[in-house]
Chains A and B, each alone.
Chain A
Amino acid sequence: MYWLRRLWSELRNEVFVLPSRMLVLAWALGLLALPAVYADPYVMRILTLTCLYAIFAASWDLLAGYSGQVNFGHALFFGAGGYASSMLSLKLGVSPWLTIWVGAAVATLLGLGVGYICLRLRGAYLSLATLAFPLIAVGLLLAFPGFSGGELGMFGVSRLTNNLIGNYYIAVIAMLVLVFGMWLIADSKFGLVLHAIRDDELAARASGINTPRYKLTVFAIAAFAAGVAGALLAHYLRIAAPFLLETALSFQVVIWGIFGGVATIYGPVAAVFVLFPLIEWFGGFQGFGERRLLFFAVIVLLVLLFMPRGLVPWVRDKVETLCPRCKQRNPGWRAVCRLCEAPLSATDRPRSTAPRKA
């Protein structure tokens, strides 16, 4: 009873006060309740994929948006998770429930490795160098076909469950847990340090922060989440092949991340939930479906011209205002701050929270 009351007060004080948080709650509950209302296999499949890509996009944002290490080869971790888990479960017959963690662990190790190499790199150098890693990995996979299955990869991998709704729930719950987890990390002191490193690494170091440790840790966390997503996708599709490591996928996640709004975690998630089903829906039109990538690119370009900081920051600024005195968020309709009662004038739109330099 106490916990219920506690929950209620948390909800009332922290969630219901802001429209964006209410939206997030409604979205999470909606996802969880959907199979009871509308268990259509196609919708389940698309949402399952959407959830997995959402984890992937959020993990990229944690790395790129918060710590400023704009990774152009994020698919490496996605693929590593998928490959490692599939290989183990296919060759040794271990249950996928266990191998997923191994996949994530392999991805984490790779994350530490790439992170270590990238410690000395900045800005565009880092981005372009990371682009190379998945390509080198594909080269290695193709060079040892006996081990990796070559171009076709690992196929016939077992699923976590053969139940459609079961798979949906696995993806949704994994997504909610990982994304919320990453959001908590990003919102903690740790996240604050990452902001500081991104904005001025020298200053952060001068303030006594062990910046390499933070940069490595965030690489590892992001790689872990991406690895879980990749492993789940491989088991869901029952195949892990070089498509998991494609440059196109690495670019895709950059687009999702920036389109949604960097350094927010929920921005890229929202971007995936908008773009992925939308593009799939385009793909369903006969004689028109094959143009889906064109629509995707044009939509991204047009939206950017109107919302250069990304979709979610733009929406958030429309519905909420930042209190000029205590820097707390307020619903857009309030005249005074909900906490410190300072007047909120329309001119005090929040200043850019996007990173100065990506």
Chain B
Amino acid sequence: MFRSFLVAAALAAVVPSAMAQGTIKIAILGPMAFVQGENHWAGATMAMETINKAGGISVGGKKMMVELIRADSNEMTSVPDAASAVERVITRDKVDFLIGGFRSEAVLAMQEVAMDNKKLFLGAGAAHDELGMRVERDYNRYKYWFRITPTKNTDLGRTVFAVLNSVAGEIRTRLKKETPKVAILAEKAAWTEGLTAAAQKNLPAMKMEVVGVWNPSAVATDVTAELSAIERAGADIVFTILSGPVGIVTGRQMGERNMKAVAFGINVEAQKDEFWGATAGKANFVSTLDTYSEVEITPKTVAWVRAFKERFKKSPTYNAATYDAVMILKEAIETANSINSDDLVPVLEKISFVGNAAVLEFDKRHDPVYGLGKSLGIAVQWQDGKKVAFWPPQVKGMQPFRMPGD
């Protein structure tokens, strides 16, 4: 039994080591069988093609090509596998940099392995604050971690309340209601707890009334019970904090019940192109925070989103920010004139990089700096089968927000 493993290990050692000299190897880690991983890979592929077509990255006077290693982290099923995948790409594939990750608990474990090996790890999926807090607490160990996307949970909350406020404003003017009623529908998960608590605290101050909190499971297939109760409570806004398939069920069942309340919040499934089909076209007016749309968040956004759709026949999700991650690496490498992670950290700390959905600058937790014109995010709404952006109003190309009955 042991020998069979040695054979396996020996084979594993031989297969990927056919590496070319003079390439920069970047591992893209993600759940490759899932949408998140697909987008990780798609974004990075586009960046690699762009860079290599233009001749590569110049380091020390010579041009180096980018080589991507596609590494399935299997993080949806196994956290230990995700950590092993990091170790594998570092030791076996001898990668120079790591990009990706999605589930917070998996990324927490992956981060440890990357830091053990002192490799630059650019996060493109996990939102938990702790990932950045570690950098602040133990800088020397965790300084190799930078978060490209999304903004940390706390900032996500700031955006979501800002949008909620503008949605409430719409309701006040249209329905002549001074204090709109809000039902909080949050899937049961660690990341929703902070937002739920903040909503209960902040909404009364924002002149909204919280009529209740409902916590379905993230994989619930039926929220009829929750929705009937919400209807009974007379809510005007259903504040969704959902990342799992329950987001689809919610959108669909709200439509099927012809609910008068409008859904806004975070609904990760509603960010995907497939959402309309998955809800059988029932999810009109469902709105959510999002990352990409054909609006001018930065000068690069519109052209890039179009190019992405052209290349992959679907819209990018936020995980496709691996594109920005590869590009920011290129800029940092060329500035530092080195591919050594230790040399790149100080450069990245000072960088100001115009990405596709944000102007990236990093704070002392290596989190993207939050704010309009930096990293903020947008809000989108499904209107008759199309996902259109409606917030922030300062950005060019925004559409008006609509409500059921319009």
A40 adjacent to B2 (CB under 8 Å): no
> Which residue in chain A gives the minimum CB-CB distance to B104?
A152
Once bound together, how far apart are the Cα atoms of A241 and B105, in whole Å? Answer: 7
> Which residue in chain A gives the minimum CB-CB distance to B215?
A142
Q: Which residues of A contact B2 (CB under 8 A)?
A: 26-27, 30-31, 273
Q: Which residues of A contact B8 (CB under 8 A)?
A: 277-278, 281
A23 CB to closest chain B CB (Å) equals 8
Instruction: Please tell me the number of chain B residues within 8 Å of chain A, measured between CB atoms.
Output: 47
Once bound together, how far apart are the Cα atoms of A49 and B188, in whole Å? Answer: 30
Q: Which residues of A contact B78 (CB under 8 A)?
A: 243
Q: Give the interface segment out of B82-90, B159-167, B347-355, B373-381.
A: B82-90
Question: Taking the complex as formed, is A343 at the interface, i.e. its CB lies under 8 A from any CB of chain B?
Answer: no
> Which residue in chain A gives the minimum CB-CB distance to B11?
A281
Once bound together, how far apart are the Cα atoms of A284 and B12, in whole Å? Answer: 8
Contact partner of A155 (CB less than 8 A), chosen from B12, B108, B191, B193, is B108
Question: Taking the complex as formed, is B306 at the interface, i.e. its CB lies under 8 A from any CB of chain A?
Answer: no
Whether A274 contacts B4 in the complex (CB less than 8 A), given A142-B188, A149-B190, A150-B193, comes out as yes
> Which residue in chain A gives the minimum CB-CB distance to B4?
A274
Question: Taking the complex as formed, is A94 at the interface, i.e. its CB lies under 8 A from any CB of chain B?
Answer: no
Once bound together, how far apart are the Cα atoms of A30 and B169, in whole Å? Answer: 71
**How would residues 139 to 162 of chain A score, 1 for a CB under 8 Å from any chain B CB and 0 otherwise?**
000100100011111011000001
Once bound together, how far apart are the Cα atoms of A145 and B197, in whole Å? Answer: 13
Once bound together, how far apart are the Cα atoms of A287 and B69, in whole Å? Answer: 10
Once bound together, how far apart are the Cα atoms of A136 and B106, in whole Å? Answer: 23
Q: Give the interface segment out of A2-10, A182-190, A231-239.
A: A231-239
Q: Which residues of A contact B277 (CB under 8 A)?
A: none
Contact partner of A283 (CB less than 8 A), chosen from B11, B85, B91, B134, is B85
Question: Taking the complex as formed, is B71 at the interface, i.e. its CB lies under 8 A from any CB of chain A?
Answer: yes
Number of A-B contacts (CB under 8 A): 124
Whether A152 contacts B84 in the complex (CB less than 8 A), given A277-B9, A283-B72, A283-B74, comes out as no
B83 adjacent to A284 (CB under 8 Å): no
Contact partner of A289 (CB less than 8 A), chosen from B72, B130, B189, is B72
A290 adjacent to B72 (CB under 8 Å): yes
Whether A239 contacts B105 in the complex (CB less than 8 A), given A151-B189, A156-B134, comes out as yes
Contact partner of A243 (CB less than 8 A), chosen from B79, B87, B130, is B79
A152 adjacent to B11 (CB under 8 Å): no
Q: Which one of B2, B15, B81, B193 has the greatest number of beta carbons of chain A within 10 Å? A: B2
A278 adjacent to B4 (CB under 8 Å): yes
Q: Which residues of A contact B71 (CB under 8 A)?
A: 286, 289
Q: Which residues of A contact B80 (CB under 8 A)?
A: 49, 233, 237
Mark out the residues of chain A between 277 and 319 whose CB falls within 8 Å of any chain B CB in the assembled complex. Answer: 277-278, 280-281, 283-287, 289-293
B105 adjacent to A41 (CB under 8 Å): no
Once bound together, how far apart are the Cα atoms of A40 and B88, in whole Å? Answer: 10
Question: Taking the complex as formed, is A46 at the interface, i.e. its CB lies under 8 A from any CB of chain B?
Answer: yes
Instruction: Please tell me the number of chain A residues within 8 Å of chain B, measured between CB atoms.
Output: 47
Question: Taking the complex as formed, is A338 at the interface, i.e. its CB lies under 8 A from any CB of chain B?
Answer: no
A93 CB to closest chain B CB (Å) equals 15
Q: Which residues of B contact A293 (CB under 8 A)?
A: 77
Q: Dominant SS at the A interface?
A: helix
Q: Which residues of A contact B31 (CB under 8 A)?
A: 290
Once bound together, how far apart are the Cα atoms of A241 and B130, in whole Å? Answer: 15
Q: Which residues of A contact B116 (CB under 8 A)?
A: 162
Whether A280 contacts B84 in the complex (CB less than 8 A), given A150-B189, A151-B105, comes out as yes
Q: Which residues of A contact B11 (CB under 8 A)?
A: 281
Once bound together, how far apart are the Cα atoms of A245 and B116, in whole Å? Answer: 27
Q: Which residues of B contact A333 (CB under 8 A)?
A: none
Question: Taking the complex as formed, is A336 at the interface, i.e. its CB lies under 8 A from any CB of chain B?
Answer: no
Once bound together, how far apart are the Cα atoms of A291 and B91, in whole Å? Answer: 22
Mark out the residues of chain A between 180 and 239 whose CB falls within 8 Å of any chain B CB in the assembled complex. Answer: 233, 237-239
Q: Which residues of A contact B85 (CB under 8 A)?
A: 283
A152 adjacent to B105 (CB under 8 Å): yes
B4 adjacent to A145 (CB under 8 Å): no
Question: Taking the complex as formed, is B59 at the interface, i.e. its CB lies under 8 A from any CB of chain A?
Answer: no
B327 CB to closest chain A CB (Å) equals 22
B190 adjacent to A150 (CB under 8 Å): yes
Q: Which residues of A contact B77 (CB under 8 A)?
A: 248, 293
B1 adjacent to A238 (CB under 8 Å): no
**How would residues 2 to 32 of chain B score, 1 for a CB under 8 Å from any chain A CB and 0 otherwise?**
1011001101100110000000000000011
Mark out the residues of chain B between 76 and 131 whose CB falls within 8 Å of any chain A CB in the assembled complex. Answer: 77-81, 83-85, 87-88, 90-92, 104-105, 108-109, 112, 116-117, 128, 130
A265 CB to closest chain B CB (Å) equals 14
Question: Taking the complex as formed, is B180 at the interface, i.e. its CB lies under 8 A from any CB of chain A?
Answer: no
Question: Taking the complex as formed, is B157 at the interface, i.e. its CB lies under 8 A from any CB of chain A?
Answer: no
Q: Which one of B80, B81, B130 has the greatest number of beta carbons of chain A within 10 Å? A: B80
A183 CB to closest chain B CB (Å) equals 16
Question: Taking the complex as formed, is B132 at the interface, i.e. its CB lies under 8 A from any CB of chain A?
Answer: no
Question: Taking the complex as formed, is B37 at the interface, i.e. its CB lies under 8 A from any CB of chain A?
Answer: yes
Question: Taking the complex as formed, is B206 at the interface, i.e. its CB lies under 8 A from any CB of chain A?
Answer: no
> Which residue in chain A gives the minimum CB-CB distance to B112?
A238
Q: Which residues of A contact B193 (CB under 8 A)?
A: 145, 150
B5 CB to closest chain A CB (Å) equals 4
Mark out the residues of chain B between 234 and 251 whose CB falls within 8 Å of any chain A CB in the assembled complex. Answer: none
B105 adjacent to A243 (CB under 8 Å): yes
Question: Taking the complex as formed, is A45 at the interface, i.e. its CB lies under 8 A from any CB of chain B?
Answer: yes
B4 adjacent to A155 (CB under 8 Å): no
Mark out the residues of chain A between 89 and 111 whose CB falls within 8 Å of any chain B CB in the assembled complex. Answer: none
B316 CB to closest chain A CB (Å) equals 20
A284 adjacent to B88 (CB under 8 Å): yes
A238 adjacent to B84 (CB under 8 Å): no
Question: Taking the complex as formed, is B70 at the interface, i.e. its CB lies under 8 A from any CB of chain A?
Answer: yes
Once bound together, how far apart are the Cα atoms of A253 and B88, in whole Å? Answer: 24
> Which residue in chain A gives the minimum CB-CB distance to B68?
A286
Once bound together, how far apart are the Cα atoms of A273 and B78, in whole Å? Answer: 18
Q: Which one of B69, B71, B72, B116 has the greatest number of beta carbons of chain A within 10 Å? A: B72
A286 adjacent to B70 (CB under 8 Å): yes
A152 adjacent to B128 (CB under 8 Å): yes
Q: Which residues of A contact B37 (CB under 8 A)?
A: 290
Question: Taking the complex as formed, is B220 at the interface, i.e. its CB lies under 8 A from any CB of chain A?
Answer: no
Once bound together, how far apart are the Cα atoms of A167 and B79, in whole Å? Answer: 18
Q: Which residues of A contact B79 (CB under 8 A)?
A: 237, 239, 241, 243
Question: Taking the complex as formed, is B303 at the interface, i.e. its CB lies under 8 A from any CB of chain A?
Answer: no
21 A/B residue pairs, CB under 8 Å, sorted by A: A42-B87, A42-B92, A43-B9, A142-B188, A145-B193, A152-B130, A162-B116, A237-B83, A238-B108, A238-B109, A243-B78, A278-B4, A284-B15, A286-B16, A286-B69, A286-B70, A286-B71, A289-B71, A290-B72, A290-B74, A291-B33
What residues of chain A have their CB less than 8 Å away from a CB belonging to chain B? Answer: 23, 26-27, 30-31, 40-43, 45-47, 49, 142, 145, 149-153, 155-156, 162, 233, 237-239, 241, 243, 248, 270, 273-274, 277-278, 280-281, 283-287, 289-293
**Contacts beyond the supplied A155-B108, A243-B105: 4 A-B pairs with Cβ under 8 Å:** A151-B188, A273-B2, A285-B15, A286-B70
Across the A-B interface, give the 5 residue pairs with the lowest CB-CB distance, nearest first: A151-B190, A289-B72, A42-B91, A150-B190, A290-B33
